[in-house]
Amino acid sequence: MKSVKVYATHKFDFKTEKIASDKSISHRSVMFAMLAEGESTIKNFLRAEDTLNSLEIVKNLGAKVVDNGEVITISSSGIKESENILDCGNSGTGIRLFCGLLSSAKGHFVLTGDEYLRRRPMKRVTAPLRNIGAKLDGRNDGDLAPLSIRGSSLKAFNYESKIASAQVKSAMILAALRSDGICTYSEPELSRDHTERMLKGMGADIKVDGLKTTITPLTKLLSPLDIRIPADPSSAFFFAVAAAITPDSSITLQGVTLNKTRIEAFKALERMGADIRYELTDDKYEPIGDITVRYAPLKAITVEDNISWLIDELPALSIAFACAEGVSVIKNAEELRVKESDRISTVVEGLRACGIEVDEVQDGYSVTGGELRSATINSHGDHRIAMSFIIAGLRCGMDVQDIDCINTSFPNFFELLQNLTRIELS
Ligand code: S3P
Residue nearest to atom 5 of ligand 1 (CA): 93
- Work out which ligand 1 atom sits closest to the CA atom of 165: 14
Q: Is the CB of 167 under 6 A from ligand 1?
A: yes
Q: What DSSP assignment string belongs to 55-115? A: HHHHHHTT-EEEE-SSEEEEE-SS----SS-EE-TT-HHHHHHHHHHHTTSSSEEEEE--T
Angle at alpha carbon of residue 386, lines to 259 and 243, rounded to 5°: 55
- Work out which ligand 1 atom sits closest to the CA atom of 335: 16
All CATH 3.65.10.10 domain ranges of the chain, comma separated, are 3-21+230-425, 23-215
> Residue 270: in which H helix or E strand, if any?
helix 264-271
Q: Is the CB of 250 under 6 A from ligand 1?
A: no
Cα of 337 vs centre of ligand 1, distance in Å, is 13
Cis ω before 247 (30° cut-off from 0):
no
Q: Is the CB of 24 under 6 A from ligand 1?
A: yes
Residue nearest to atom 13 of ligand 1 (CA): 165
- Work out which ligand 1 atom sits closest to the CA atom of 27: 11
The span from the CA of 55 to the CA of 29, in Å, is 9
CA 88 to chain centre: 14
Cα of 167 vs centre of ligand 1, distance in Å, is 5
Q: Which fold has domain 23-215?
A: UDP-n-acetylglucosamine1-carboxyvinyl-transferase; Chain (3.65.10)
Angle at alpha carbon of residue 29, lines to 116 and 285, rounded to 5°: 125
The span from the CA of 134 to the CA of 120, in Å, is 20
The terminus-to-terminus CA distance of the chain in angstroms comes to 9
pLDDT of residue 1: 65
Residue nearest to atom 10 of ligand 1 (CA): 312
Among 22, 93, 307, which residue has the most ligand 1 atoms within 8 Å of its CB, making it the best to mutate? 93
257 in Cβ contact with 231 (< 8 Å): yes
Q: Is the CB of 409 under 6 A from ligand 1?
A: no
- Work out which ligand 1 atom sits closest to the CA atom of 164: 16
Q: Which of 193, 232, 312, 382 is catalytic?
A: 312
Cα of 248 vs centre of ligand 1, distance in Å, is 34
* Sequence-ordered list of residues with C-beta below 8 angstroms from that of 165, at least 6 positions apart, any chain: 124, 187, 191, 308, 335
Angle at alpha carbon of residue 270, lines to 267 and 274, rounded to 5°: 150
* Sequence-ordered list of residues with C-beta below 8 angstroms from that of 404, at least 6 positions apart, any chain: 1, 2
Cα of 311 vs centre of ligand 1, distance in Å, is 8
Return per-residue pLDDT of the chain as tens, 426 residues. Answer: 699 999 999 999 999 999 999 999 999 999 999 999 999 999 999 999 999 999 999 999 999 999 999 999 999 999 999 999 999 999 999 999 999 999 999 999 999 999 999 999 999 999 999 999 999 999 999 999 999 999 999 999 999 999 999 999 999 999 999 999 999 999 999 999 999 999 999 999 999 999 999 999 999 999 999 999 999 999 999 999 999 999 999 999 999 999 999 999 999 999 999 999 999 999 999 999 999 999 999 999 999 999 999 999 999 999 999 999 999 999 999 999 999 999 999 999 999 999 999 999 999 999 999 999 999 999 999 999 999 999 999 999 999 999 999 999 999 999 999 999 999 999
174 in Cβ contact with 100 (< 8 Å): yes
Among 165, 172, 173, 405, which residue has the most ligand 1 atoms within 8 Å of its CB, making it the best to mutate? 165
User: Phi and psi (nearest 5°) for 263?
Assistant: -110, 20
Q: Model-level pTM?
A: 0.98
Sign, Cα dihedral of 5, 269, 255, 207 = positive
The span from the CA of 206 to the CA of 340, in Å, is 30
- Work out which ligand 1 atom sits closest to the CA atom of 311: 9
Q: Does domain 3-21+230-425 have CATH number 3.40.50.620?
A: no
The span from the CA of 180 to the CA of 358, in Å, is 51
Specify the 3-state DSSP secondary structure of 313.
Answer: helix
121 in Cβ contact with 96 (< 8 Å): no
Residue 130: half-sphere exposure toward Cβ, Cα within 13 Å = 15
The span from the CA of 172 to the CA of 170, in Å, is 5
Indicate if 275 belongs to the active site.
no
Q: Largest Cα–Cα distance of the chain, in whole Å? A: 60
What is the DSSP secondary structure assignment for residue 325, as one 8-state letter?
Answer: B
The span from the CA of 129 to the CA of 123, in Å, is 9
Cα of 241 vs centre of ligand 1, distance in Å, is 21
